[in-house]
Amino acid sequence: MKKSRRSFLKVAGVSALGIGVAPAIKAVAASSAHAAAEATKTKNPEALTAKRWGMVIDTNKLNDEVAAKIVEACRKTHNVPDFHHEPDPEKFPKNRPVNQKQEVKWIWEEHFHNAFPDKEDEFLAEKFKNLPFLVTCNHCKNAPCVQACPTQATFKRDDGIVLMDFHRCIGCRFCMAACPFGSRSFNFRDPRPFIDEVNPDFPTRTKGVVEKCNLCAERLAKGLQPACVEVSEGAITVGDLEDPNSEVRALLNEKYSIRRKQELGTEPSVYYIM
């Protein structure tokens, strides 16, 4: 008797649990299906898609002028603050002096030996010594920043783009310590006084959050090429690394290319044609 009562209770318990859980599972399933349907409904049919986004920079086509244009276009598109000028004293009378070391950079120029410190070569071809090497976030396949982030504020999308959620970031800067490319910037102060013209299509950031290149994910979603590609005069190409017929793969097939700090195994998605 005792035994059967116990087994009855067991069965009853399990079924009660089942009754309780089943609707929850159904609800979750329904909501995710609903969300998926919603997503397909709202997805822009012209959006550019890829299995894994990558960037190819043809160093032969870069010069100081083009590089400067690229940096400027990225700045304007994403409201990246410019710490080289003090803000308008009339609009921001109480502004404190700028500390250049606390600047924000998404894509910027570096010398070869800074961009590729591990490839430093005593007898490097002369042409590389003065060439502007544009560096940016590599959108690594194995991104150390994503691994380090304690709040999932930085995350990798299925298409390989590493993104930042500016509203979830707590500003611990662990991702900056983890990034071996120095690609991330922190808003040590409110960036807004340092934005000359605000682009209303992209949010401005607040103090205390990390930011970096987002491969123009917001432009790709509208079917537009990234801002840097548009002004690069053919020096930068963005496309699907996993599509053998893509333009980026054609370029990589044709010419010799290198990546930054390949030995670290982060699998950067930015290639430099030499």
Partner 1 sequence: MLEIAIKGSKKYWIWLGVLCAVIGAGFLVYVDQFINGLMTTAMSRDVTWGFYIANFTYLVGVAAGGVMVVIPFYLHNYEKFHRITILGEFLAVAALIMCLLFIVVDLGQPIRMLNVLLYPTPHSMLFWDMCVLNGYLFLNIVIGWKVLEAERNQIKPPAWTTPLIYLSIPFAIGIHTVTAYLYCGLPGRGFWLTAILAPRFLASAFAAGPSVLILLCYVVRKFTKFDPGWEAMQTLSKIACYALISNVFFFLCEIFVTYYSKIPGHMTHIDYLFFGLHGHNTMVPWMWSSMILMISAAIMLVIPVLRSNATLLPFICVMVIIGTWIDKSLGMIAGGFVPSPLHHVTEYMPTFKEIGITLGIYAAGLFILTILYKLATTVKEEVRG
Contact residues for partner 1, defined by CB under 8 A = 96, 99, 101-105, 110, 113-115, 117-118, 120, 135, 144, 147-153, 168-174, 176-182, 185-190, 206-210, 261, 264-266
CB of 2 to partner 1, least distance (A): 32
Compare residues 62 and 145 and give the one whose CB is closer to partner 1: 145
The H-or-E segment that residue 258 falls in is strand 257-258
CB of 233 to partner 1, least distance (A): 26
CB 146 within 8 A of CB 155: yes
Q: How many CA atoms lie within 13 A of 248 on its CB side?
A: 21
DSSP secondary structure, 22-66, as one string: HHHHHHHHHHHHHHHHHHHHHS-TT----SSEEEEEEGGG--HHH
Compare residues 106 and 219 and give the one whose CB is closer to partner 1: 106
Compare residues 166 and 202 and give the one whose CB is closer to partner 1: 166
Place of tokens 């890829």: 50
CB of 187 to partner 1, least distance (A): 7
**Burial class of residue 236 in the structure, from the number of CB atoms within 10 Å of its CB (0-12 exposed, 13-18 middle, 19+ buried):** buried
Compare residues 152 and 245 and give the one whose CB is closer to partner 1: 152
CB of 80 to partner 1, least distance (A): 13
